[in-house]
Chains A and B, each alone.
Chain A
Amino acid sequence: MRKYVLKRVLVSVVILFFVAFIIYALMRCLPTSYIESIARQKSMQPNSKSFEEWMAQLKVMYNLDKGIIVGFFAWIGQALTGQFGDSWFYTVPVLQKFNDTVWLSFVMGFIAFFLEIVIAIPLGIIAATKQYSRADYTISIVALAGISLPTFFFASLLKLLFSVKLGWFDLYGLISRDYDTMSVFGQLMDKGNHLVLPIVTLVVISMGSLMRYTRTNMLEVLNADFVRTARAKGLSEKSVIYHHAFRNTLIPLVTVIGGSLPGLFAGALITETLFGIPGIGFVSYHAMIAGDIPFSMFYLVFMSILTLLGNLISDILYAVVDPRVRIA
């Protein structure tokens, strides 16, 4: 196992290198780079230097006068020492902005993830064990509705219902106007209050697929021979489903769940935008469309690392959970 992990990690490093290069090259090739928009804006001011002059000056300032490959290695050199530079769009150092925003997304994602699992898996199992019953149909319809609803639609619907019509929640934002005057506990509750609708959105949108996945796998397992053997042994139905059958369903579930751990850091762009939560999804999107290279590079490379890690975790978990699979 140790050798396997080591080998995977080494391969991941190589993959990461190329991924980072591709990202960097793509960002450099964006049609309107960050400095172009600044230069344009600045050259339109009265009495200002011309566009070309601004471009020349800014290019030097932002290290964009070097070619793509040289620039990339410069970035790597800096990155390896932990210096990711200042975000062009946000002014503050990349790591600082990232740190400020990612934990929020992580907490949101984690809670949504937890709720999703806790709701989707039992419902999926129920749907499978009571196939074709009313419960099954209800659950399946709910799951399908959840998958089919576009995030923006559902989020807007929630906002309309709970904020505009009922007035239970603030329309958007992370904190209320009196946030600074609250106690620590009050502040926590305040943030929590503002995260309720976004988390509900996330849970409803994503639990559908997990529910269906669980149901499908469970059905497959329930039709397997060993379940019949378990029944033949005289085990109670509960034991058959939750001990024997579920343990087998767990195999694909765990790999799917383990592989989605990186997603917790990715942030939910649309949800965050619609609810005004300054999480990493929202922040990174704006940085990327502005062509902010330091921030985007850091964020995308971070996501690549997490994805590779997620794959590795998935594979390892698969071996842990399924005794038939043994890693060489």
Chain B
Amino acid sequence: MNKTKKILALALCFVMCFCFLAGCGGSSGGNDTLVVGYAPFNSKFSQFFSETAYDEDVWKMTALSLLPTDRQGAVLLNSKDGEVVSYNGTDYTYNGLANCEITEKKDGSVVYDFTLRDDVKFSDGEPVTVDDVIFSMYAFADPTYSGTTTFFALPIKGLAEYRAGVESRAKLILATKREGYKENEYFTQEQYDAYWIAFDEGGAAFAQSIADYCISAGYNEEGDSVAKCAANWGFTLKDDATAADFFAEIVKKYGYDMAAIDGEKASDGIGTFIDTALGDKADEINAGVQTGKSADNIEGIEKTGDNSLRVTLTKVDAAAIYQLAVYVAPLHYYGDKAMYDYDNNKFGFTKGDLSSIKAKTTKPLGAGPYKFVKYESGTVRFEANENYFLGEPKVKYMNFLETQETDKLNGITTGTIDITDPAFSADTVKAIQKANGGELNGDKIQVSTVNNLGYGYIGINSKNVIVGNDRGSEASKNLRKAFATVFAAYRNVAIDSYYGEAASIINYPISDTSWAAPQTTDDGYKVAFSQDVKGKDIYTSDMKAEDRYAAALKAALGYFEAAGYTVKDGKITAAPKGAKMEYEAMIPADGTGDHPTFMVFSESSKALEKIGMKLLVRDLANGSELWDKLEAGQVDIWAAAWGATPDPDMYQVYFSGMNGMKAGGSNYHYEINDMKLNKLILDARASFDTTYRKSVYKACLDIIVDWAVEVPVYQRQNAIVFNPQKINMDTVTPDITTFYNWYSEIEKLEMK
């Protein structure tokens, strides 16, 4: 090699070394930026339009919600001036933007009165007012809103009318002012007549209630006539006037204006009385019909003061508060202040045109602890909000860095990131212990584990795994229970090997994070599918694993027999009509068996083979194939996981579409068809009493388990990992839970 080439090679080496050195200075140092390892973002950083959990976390950093949530997932109603709630033996104070008073009315409607603080500002200095809240709500309620939030599905009074030119029949009939029936597309002559009959009847009862009230309140004495009572109410009647006459007077005074008439009410409104009079027809008459004209405002949302507003819901919905406590979006940023005029039904944007909000999707702004600076080079940059109402955050800058799962732990140890959330499996645990030199919580890495909001399960579709035609028959249930019993027996070994300590077995189809989840110490707590067809427990506490499997298999055989299968020599030989000798289980395990429940299926398949039932295990490399097939109703048995909501409402998944009622959106998974369950679900929804709800939900869970459409498998834990060498661990949110995360008190976090 001649001289010039040698020199060239050396020069190249120098160039590369220089590059190394050039960067050496920049990487470490800098105590005022916190770096959090996240996953790729879709840039939909808007409370209105975000779709992934990661985008959500980004805008949540910049936003403030009306009401805070405590460590157990409950919405706090009195935190305006600080509310103290005890958790795990410690009293914690929560500070929120507003207070909320919930009042249940006799007519079934619920009123939410919000009172805001007057000293909170957005990060650009503009004050947070009730106008911003109203603006946010109208944005969510807009007919063209296409985001994932389902605010618009809340039973807010007047919302349907605002959204879709929907008017209730009753209103339309009332609007005719009793001038006679004219042929139209909204109601029939029959309905028209029925309404007015009920109107009169209800009206009379309404008037009577006024009279009764006068007596009970002491304005009149017992036995006084209607006229006398009416006199005390401001109406002059003939002495022998009846309640109906009284009512006629009222109508004369106000016309056919329900709201005005209600001004006279003593107890319930006129609407309630009419509904009572309508009886069975109430639903039909009150049903909404499309008229094409929509209302200009939402009746149920009213500004009641400079710092307060009132939202009225037409029925009790325990979960509604989660949706009502919106994250307040600034009117001046997402909308147009000039277009806001509450009294004239202008709410900051043109109804039906959310373009001004959409335009800001990638750049959120709010009253939260941090300001969004930019999203560039795979990093979201935040700057502390000096106007934050709980004080400017101690850490001036924060970066959310897009990170690959495999890099998360190494990122912490090399100092590239300070906080992250790796998937918590047995391997992760080992890796953390290795980095720390033996323990899970050490000098290099600190771990905080919370239960995942959701759980893993095995689903059995009741329409496909069925005997004959009736999915709710005992035979069908027994068939499913046969499978369920075998699956349940192998849960322990499968989850142990996949998750190790990082997950636990659950026995009811509900996440352990929910307050409604049955605890092992509760009465009536049973291990799932641990009984045979006669109701006897099949496991004893001294059984070894092999014995347990054998016991489960024996019980399964019993169930098969009860379902109608022919059993000979300990094997099933023939299936009853409608059932099969072979079923298929699908599991999205990447084609490599990489799924916590995979072992359950493979072992169960082998076991079932012994008694003559064939269970084909299909490993889908493409996960979305499972969902396609589920939608098409082509799946027998499958494994998946549910994400849960803080409220344990079961409508979505278990409410069956029967008797004209619409099924829950995800009911097609299990195809449960149980009237009793439906009723229980509705009951639980309609109450605010958590004790009552918990007992109702327990009853629901028992029914669901009895249907054997779901075998609850595992509740896993999520981990948040910190670098204690960069972060002052004393300043991290104490007692992190599923609902109260490390960033819930981000303003207090300090770096070393």
Partner-contacting stretch, out of B15-23, B251-259, B696-704:
B15-23
Residues in A102-140 with C-beta less than 8 Å from chain B:
104, 115, 118-119, 122, 126, 135
**Bound form: Cα–Cα A175–B30 in Å:** 13
In contact, B43 and A48 (Cβ under 8 angstroms): no
A306 shortest CB reach to chain B, Å: 24
B368 shortest CB reach to chain A, Å: 20
In contact, A193 and B652 (Cβ under 8 angstroms): no
What are 9 A-B pairs with beta-carbon distances under 8 A?
Answer: A37-B624, A38-B51, A46-B150, A91-B44, A173-B378, A173-B416, A176-B30, A193-B26, A196-B23
**Bound form: Cα–Cα A274–B402 in Å:** 11
In the assembled complex, which residues on chain A have CB atoms less than 8 Å from the CB atom of B2? 238
- A77 contacts the other chain (Cβ, under 8 Å)? no
Partner of A47, one of B30, B150, B377, B631: B150
In the assembled complex, which residues on chain B have CB atoms less than 8 Å from the CB atom of A186? 26
Partner of B402, one of A91, A169, A194, A278: A278
How does the 8 Å CB contact mask read for A171-200 relative to B, with 1 for contact and 0 for none? 111111111111000100111111010001
Known contacts A170-B414, A194-B23; decide if A31 and B30 are in contact (CB<8 Å).
no
The range of chain A's interface size is 35 or more
How does the 8 Å CB contact mask read for A23-47 relative to B, with 1 for contact and 0 for none? 0000000011000111011111111
Residues in B677-709 with C-beta less than 8 Å from chain A:
none
Known contacts A169-B23, A276-B403; decide if A163 and B414 are in contact (CB<8 Å).
yes
In the assembled complex, which residues on chain A have CB atoms less than 8 Å from the CB atom of B377? 104, 173-175, 179, 191, 278
Known contacts A38-B51, A44-B665; decide if A196 and B43 are in contact (CB<8 Å).
no
**Bound form: Cα–Cα A179–B416 in Å:** 13
- A57 contacts the other chain (Cβ, under 8 Å)? yes
In contact, A274 and B404 (Cβ under 8 angstroms): yes
Partner-contacting stretch, out of B60-68, B195-203, B405-413, B542-550:
B405-413
- A159 contacts the other chain (Cβ, under 8 Å)? yes
- A6 contacts the other chain (Cβ, under 8 Å)? no
**Bound form: Cα–Cα A191–B415 in Å:** 17
Main SS class of interface, B: mixed
In contact, A45 and B23 (Cβ under 8 angstroms): no
**Bound form: Cα–Cα A36–B630 in Å:** 13
How does the 8 Å CB contact mask read for B393-406 relative to A, with 1 for contact and 0 for none? 00001010111100
- B33 contacts the other chain (Cβ, under 8 Å)? yes
- B355 contacts the other chain (Cβ, under 8 Å)? no
In the assembled complex, which residues on chain B have CB atoms less than 8 Å from the CB atom of A286? 40
**Bound form: Cα–Cα A205–B626 in Å:** 38
- B625 contacts the other chain (Cβ, under 8 Å)? yes
In the assembled complex, which residues on chain B have CB atoms less than 8 Å from the CB atom of A42? 148
B150, B376, B378: most-surrounded residue (chain A CB, <10 A): B378
In contact, B410 and A163 (Cβ under 8 angstroms): yes
**Bound form: Cα–Cα A179–B399 in Å:** 10
- A80 contacts the other chain (Cβ, under 8 Å)? no
In contact, B411 and A193 (Cβ under 8 angstroms): no
A190 shortest CB reach to chain B, Å: 5
In contact, B26 and A189 (Cβ under 8 angstroms): yes
Question: Whose C-beta in chain A lies nearest to the C-beta of B411?
Answer: A171
Show the binding face of A for B, using Cβ within 8 Å. Answer: 31-32, 36-38, 40-51, 57, 61, 89-92, 100, 104, 115, 118-119, 122, 126, 135, 159, 163-164, 167-182, 186, 189-194, 196, 200, 238, 273-274, 276-278, 286
In contact, B651 and A46 (Cβ under 8 angstroms): yes
Show the binding face of B for A, using Cβ within 8 Å. Answer: 1-2, 5, 8, 12, 16, 19-20, 22-27, 29-30, 33-35, 40, 42-44, 51, 146, 148, 150, 153-154, 319, 361-362, 373, 376-379, 381, 397, 399, 401-404, 407, 410-411, 413-416, 622, 624-625, 627-628, 631, 643, 645, 649, 651-652, 665-666
In contact, B27 and A173 (Cβ under 8 angstroms): no
A94 shortest CB reach to chain B, Å: 12
B687 shortest CB reach to chain A, Å: 17
Partner of A91, one of B40, B361, B376: B361
In contact, B12 and A119 (Cβ under 8 angstroms): yes
Known contacts A122-B8, A276-B402; decide if A171 and B631 are in contact (CB<8 Å).
no
A267 shortest CB reach to chain B, Å: 14
In contact, B416 and A172 (Cβ under 8 angstroms): yes
Top 4 nearest A-B pairs (CB, nearest first) are A193-B23, A47-B153, A278-B378, A178-B30
**Bound form: Cα–Cα A94–B378 in Å:** 17
A37, A176, A180: most-surrounded residue (chain B CB, <10 A): A176
In the assembled complex, which residues on chain A have CB atoms less than 8 Å from the CB atom of B40? 286
In contact, A164 and B410 (Cβ under 8 angstroms): yes
In contact, B401 and A192 (Cβ under 8 angstroms): no
Known contacts A41-B51, A196-B19, A278-B378; decide if A168 and B150 are in contact (CB<8 Å).
no
In the assembled complex, which residues on chain A have CB atoms less than 8 Å from the CB atom of B399? 177
In contact, A177 and B30 (Cβ under 8 angstroms): yes
Partner of B414, one of A164, A238, A277: A164
In contact, A31 and B404 (Cβ under 8 angstroms): no
In contact, A91 and B378 (Cβ under 8 angstroms): no
In contact, A168 and B649 (Cβ under 8 angstroms): no
In the assembled complex, which residues on chain B have CB atoms less than 8 Å from the CB atom of A181? 30
**Bound form: Cα–Cα A173–B410 in Å:** 13
A122 shortest CB reach to chain B, Å: 6
**Bound form: Cα–Cα A211–B12 in Å:** 17
**Bound form: Cα–Cα A100–B376 in Å:** 8
Question: Whose C-beta in chain B lies nearest to the C-beta of A126?
Answer: B1
**Bound form: Cα–Cα A163–B43 in Å:** 29
In the assembled complex, which residues on chain A have CB atoms less than 8 Å from the CB atom of B29? 178
In the assembled complex, which residues on chain A have CB atoms less than 8 Å from the CB atom of B404? 172, 273-274, 276
Known contacts A91-B42, A171-B411, A180-B381; decide if A36 and B319 are in contact (CB<8 Å).
no
Question: Whose C-beta in chain B lies nearest to the C-beta of A186?
Answer: B26
Partner of B407, one of A190, A238, A276: A276
B654 shortest CB reach to chain A, Å: 12
Question: Whose C-beta in chain A lies nearest to the C-beta of B319?
Answer: A46
**Bound form: Cα–Cα A47–B666 in Å:** 10
In the assembled complex, which residues on chain B have CB atoms less than 8 Å from the CB atom of A200? 16
In contact, A173 and B401 (Cβ under 8 angstroms): yes
A263 shortest CB reach to chain B, Å: 22
In contact, A193 and B22 (Cβ under 8 angstroms): yes
**Bound form: Cα–Cα A46–B664 in Å:** 8
**Bound form: Cα–Cα A277–B377 in Å:** 7
Known contacts A46-B651, A51-B631, A164-B414; decide if A189 and B622 are in contact (CB<8 Å).
no
In the assembled complex, which residues on chain B have CB atoms less than 8 Å from the CB atom of A178? 26, 29-30, 33
14 additional contacts, CB 8 Å, given A46-B651, A176-B30?
A: A31-B625, A31-B628, A44-B666, A45-B652, A48-B665, A51-B665, A100-B376, A122-B5, A173-B403, A177-B34, A178-B26, A178-B30, A182-B26, A276-B401
In the assembled complex, which residues on chain B have CB atoms less than 8 Å from the CB atom of A172? 403-404, 407, 411, 416
**Bound form: Cα–Cα A186–B23 in Å:** 9
**Bound form: Cα–Cα A46–B652 in Å:** 5
In contact, A168 and B19 (Cβ under 8 angstroms): no
In the assembled complex, which residues on chain B have CB atoms less than 8 Å from the CB atom of A171? 407, 410-411, 414, 416
B55 shortest CB reach to chain A, Å: 9
In contact, A176 and B27 (Cβ under 8 angstroms): yes
**Bound form: Cα–Cα A172–B379 in Å:** 12
B289 shortest CB reach to chain A, Å: 19
In the assembled complex, which residues on chain B have CB atoms less than 8 Å from the CB atom of A32? 622, 624-625, 628
Partner of B27, one of A37, A193, A276, A277: A193
In contact, B146 and A57 (Cβ under 8 angstroms): yes
A174 shortest CB reach to chain B, Å: 4
B26 shortest CB reach to chain A, Å: 5
In the assembled complex, which residues on chain A have CB atoms less than 8 Å from the CB atom of B397? 177, 180
**Bound form: Cα–Cα A286–B43 in Å:** 13
**Bound form: Cα–Cα A173–B397 in Å:** 17
In contact, A91 and B43 (Cβ under 8 angstroms): yes
**Bound form: Cα–Cα A273–B33 in Å:** 24
In the assembled complex, which residues on chain A have CB atoms less than 8 Å from the CB atom of B319? 46
Question: Whose C-beta in chain A lies nearest to the C-beta of B624?
Answer: A32
**Bound form: Cα–Cα A172–B16 in Å:** 19
In the assembled complex, which residues on chain B have CB atoms less than 8 Å from the CB atom of A46? 150, 153, 319, 645, 649, 651-652, 665
